Structure formats: C-alpha cells, structure tokens
Structure 1
Amino acid sequence: MANSSVISSLRLQPLSSFSSSSSPPPYSRPLYLKFHTSHRENLRYLSTLGVIPQNPRLAPPADNLPAILSAVNFLKSKGISDQDFPRLVFLCPQLFSPTFDISRIDPVFDFLTLELGASAAESRGLIVNCPNILLSDVEYCLRPTLVYLRELGLQNLNRASKTNAHVLNTRVEKLRAKMRFLKSIGFQNEEAARVCGRIPAIFGYSIEDNLRPKFEFLVYDMERELEELKKFPQYFGFSLGKRIKPRHWHLKKKNVRVSLSRMLMWGDLKFYSKWKP
C-alpha cells in the first residue's frame, strides 16, 4: 500500500489541466513530466504539446520517449512555453530526435543571455521567431555576426523580433554581401552602415531577386537619383510589383512627381484619393 501511494503521488495532473483555459502563464514554474509515469501517460502528454502525433499508430517507440521527454523538460526549463512546441517541432524536428543531444543547445541560451543581453522572455521570443537559431554554432556563427552587427551600429538586437532573430542567425559573409551591394551602387561605407542600422531587414533580402531589381527600376524607369534613395532607404522594404510599380505608373499617367516617402508611405485610400484614377 505504501508503494502504491508513492506511485500515485508522482502521477501527472489530469489532461484537463493542460487545456487553454487553465494552462499556466509561459513563465510560471513549468510542469515537468515524471519519467516513471506510464507509457500511455507519456504519449498523451507529448501529443497534447504537439511534440508527437495524436494518432497512436504514429507514436514513437517506447525506447525513444526518454530522449524526447528530456528535450521537452530542458526547453521548458529555459522558458519555452507549451504553445511554442508545435512550432519548434515543425521547424526544428531534430531537437526531438532520440539521437540528438539536447545539451548541445545550452551554449546558445548562454549566448543570448550573457552576450546578447536578452532577458528570458526576449530569448524565448527570438527562438520562437527563428527556431533554427538553436542549432547555430556560437563560435562560428552567432558571436561573429553579433560583433559585426554592433560594428555597423545596430542596436536593440535583443528585442524579440523576427528580423533580429533571422539577422542574428545569418553568417557574416552574407551580411557583408549586402554592404558590398550598397557600396557598389554608390553608398559610402558609413552611409551603407547607417542604412543597415535603420533597416536591418535588408540583410534578409536577396540581392538579385529583390535589391537590384528595385534599384534598377528606381534609376532607369523612375529616373530618380541615388540621393533620393539615400534619404529614403526604406524604399527597399516595399514590394516592387505590388506597391512601387503600380504607384509609379499611376503618378506618371497623372504627370505627378512626389517624393519617394510620399509615394510609398501613404495607405492606398489616402494615396488613390489624392490622385484619383
């Protein structure tokens, strides 16, 4: 009877405790799964999190569960919340592979906290925005990238935005390629650095599929000078096919020429009301 009561006390809460109406806040003390619970309970718990399929026929072998549970508990101890797991599983399934050593990602959390200066909430946000950052090498990717970005003057990289997450997870050579492009079209080094500081999303744009076509349209079709682009580098952030071209040709038909910011920043209602078709 004594053993029975001990085992009973170690069991998980009922599954109803994982419902959206009663789930704990992301940063409350996490509920850890006990490894000595029944195989069925473990499967129910992992399927509730979205880590494994709900269909029992697709469940992993029993021998794989300890590694999967270790990964779940490790990530929860770092602030990852229940609702984050489906995204992590979808984008980084290797984290939950029985052959993956989850302790390998511990240096990434140390980097985010100690070198980037991110809080637990900010670290979680960066990871959820770009789960692959967990698989990046700190020494060869994350640290050199952070140093380079700071040399360019980028600030607030610890903020949990999608742009920050993906830029931090980009190797330095790709970042330098964007700088070389800006300098090739006439920006001075300091000017190019300021552009990247103001619009870090530019590091995620393809040169040949995005930046170069927009620049060529600006110069050859719109017949505008580089100085206009220097004043309004946000131009690169707008869609060429959906925003830039339609508005340019619309204004040209009206024989109207306005600044790039006025042409692109206004919403459709304001823009087309001002210059009606």
Structure 2
Amino acid sequence: MAANSTVIASLRLQPLSSFSSSSLPPSSSKPLYLKFHTSHRDNIRYLSSLGIVPQSPRLAPPANDLSIILSAVNFLKSKGISDEDFPRLVFLCPQLFSPTFDISKIDPVLEFLTGELKASVEESRGLIVNCPNILLSDVEYCLRPTLVYLKELGLRNLNRASKTNAHVLNTRVEKLRAKMRFLKSIGFEHEEAARVCGRIPAIFGYSVEDNLRPKFEFLVYDMERELEELKKFPQYFGFSLVKRIRPRHWHLKKNNVRVSLTRMLMWSDHKFYSKWKP
C-alpha cells in the first residue's frame, strides 16, 4: 500500500524504570522513540519537543548538524537519560548538543560513575540530571581525586542520586580542603571536622567568606555561644543567617530567653514564635 511506503524506520528504546530519588520526577512508563531517517521537518519537531532546537525550520540547524545532535540524543538515551531530562540538560549544559561537540568524550565520566563510583543506571541518571556539568569533568584531575578524598573523610553512599552528591563529586579537591581548613581554624580537630563534613556534605558547597565565617562570627560575638555547642549541632551552618538565625536570636534576646541551638533553629516558625511571644 502507498501508506506503507511512507512508514519511517524508528529506534525503539525500552521504557526506563521509575527513578526513586525524590528530587527528580519519575521517568515515563511509555516506550520512547527516536527518529533518525525522518524528514528534516520531523527531526526539527522531535528535537524542539526536547528543547534542543527552535521550532521554526528557518532557525533550526542544517540537516547535517541535526544528524549529529540526534546521535548525541540517542547516545544519552542509551545511558538512561529520558525525554523529560533533556530540557534541564540543554539549559545547564548546552554544549552537549553542539554539532561540534564529540559526545564520545563523556564516555570516561560514564564509566567512572558506573565503575569506580558503583552507581546503577538509575543513580547515574540522577547524578547527571542533578549536575549535568559533571559530564564535562575530567576524571583523572577532578572526579577520581575528589572521590578518594571524600572516602578518606568517611563520606559514604556517594552514588546516591542527590543534588549534594552530584555537586560535591564535581568539586575540585582544593575547594573541599578549604572547608576542612576553615573548620580546623575555628577549633575543630581533624576527625571532628571530617565527621561534620560526613554528616553535612552540603557544607562543601558553602562559601567560607560569604557563608561559613559570618555564621561562626555571629554565633561567637553576637550570640555569645561556645564552640562546643556548635560541635554538638553543626547543622547550624545549614540555616540561613539572614532569614532564620539572626531574627530568632534577636527575638529570644528581646524576651530574655536562652535555649539550645537545636530548639532555636529546628522548630517551625509557628511553634517557635508561639512559644515565645513578645
């Protein structure tokens, strides 16, 4: 039949299993398709649905470039990336879809994730979607040394697909050491500082001068609290100085009340301000 002659060959991919991380939406349970030998317009329509190229044929790349981009899409989907993930990847790491980018260059990173990090396909997908730029990292000079250093500090479960893990793994060792040096400079022993980083790995993402030091100075000079209290509740560093620490401290001081850092910061606004009314 004439209609059959127009049927375009398609590559059918198996549906991805739902991803368990709460920070990411589950993958679609429907089969996914990638079209390669379709018309130029169909290729544009497909890639525009992923947010990779403009919808208008006038603004889209030429056919040869589209073929390269489709190959990159196919490669990423073969590694577990789903249709729902592409808009984020395009926004945060557009060079992956440049016609001049050799997508095979990310192979070492993918091998690192599944090999040395021992991440499953789903976990690798989660780490990539949480931090797409990890795909452009150098395994030898960034990812591997960072993984070794983090393990030395006692951090575990780094293969879990969280935003913190993804960004910490993509951080150079020197930046990680800067956080350790800061903690030791204010009185933590090396083992104590390592435990803090193990309990709160997000601390590696905080700026020393813009975040950690101002919070410590406020704790010591304004709140007049001792280092030992901070050691018992290092989660203090995870709270906003402007939105939570300062206003709650001044509220307590105004009411001539002094409580532990835990009660001061962990309680909800309703519970905190209901307990100590002006």
Same fold at TM > 0.5: yes
- Residue 171 of structure 1 aligns with which residue? 172
2-side partners of 1:147 and 1:190: how far apart? 17
Alpha-carbon offset, residue 218 of structure 1: 0.3
Query: Is the 8 Å Cα contact of residues 183 and 192 (structure 1) preserved in structure 2?
Result: yes
**Structure 1 segment 103-252 matched on structure 2, within 5 A:** 103-252=104-253
Compared CA separation, residues 11 and 223, structure 1 to 2 (3 A):
closer
Alpha-carbon offset, residue 148 of structure 1: 0.4
The list of structure 1 runs, each at least 4 consecutive aligned residues, that deviate by more than 6 angstroms after superposition, is none
Describe the SS at the equivalent of 1:56.
coil
| CA-based RMSD | 1.9
1-side partners of 2:139 and 2:57: how far apart? 38
Compared CA separation, residues 137 and 28, structure 1 to 2 (3 A):
farther
2:122 partner letter? A
- Residue 92 of structure 1 aligns with which residue? 93
Alpha-carbon offset, residue 109 of structure 1: 1.1
Query: Is the 8 Å Cα contact of residues 27 and 84 (structure 2) preserved in structure 1?
Result: no
Task: Tell whether 2:269 aligns with 1:276.
Answer: no
Alpha-carbon offset, residue 199 of structure 1: 0.3
Percent of aligned pairs with the same amino acid: 82
Deviations 1:42-74 (A, max 9, x none): 111111111112233321122211110111000
2-side partners of 1:276 and 1:224: how far apart? 23
More helix by share: 1
2-side partners of 1:134 and 1:6: how far apart? 40
Alpha-carbon offset, residue 107 of structure 1: 1.2
Structure 1: tracts of 5 or more residues without a match: 14-23
**Structure 1 segment 251-266 matched on structure 2, within 5 A:** 251-266=252-267
2:134 partner letter? I
Alpha-carbon offset, residue 32 of structure 1: 2.6
- Residue 54 of structure 1 aligns with which residue? 55
1:32 partner letter? L
- Residue 22 of structure 2 aligns with which residue? none
Query: Is the 8 Å Cα contact of residues 113 and 119 (structure 2) preserved in structure 1?
Result: yes
Describe the SS at the equivalent of 2:181.
helix
1:58 partner letter? L
- Residue 33 of structure 2 aligns with which residue? 31
Describe the SS at the equivalent of 1:115.
coil
Structure 2: tracts of 5 or more residues without a match: 13-25
Deviations 1:71-119 (A, max 9, x none): 1000000000001101101111100001100000011111111111111
Query: Is the 8 Å Cα contact of residues 142 and 173 (structure 2) preserved in structure 1?
Result: yes
Aligned residues: 265
- Residue 81 of structure 1 aligns with which residue? 82
1-side partners of 2:60 and 2:167: how far apart? 32
1-side partners of 2:10 and 2:64: how far apart? 20
1:94 partner letter? Q
- Residue 10 of structure 1 aligns with which residue? 9
Compared CA separation, residues 242 and 25, structure 1 to 2 (3 A):
closer
Deviations 1:112-167 (A, max 9, x none): 11111111111111111100000001111001100100000001111111111000
1-side partners of 2:47 and 2:64: how far apart? 14
- Residue 20 of structure 2 aligns with which residue? none
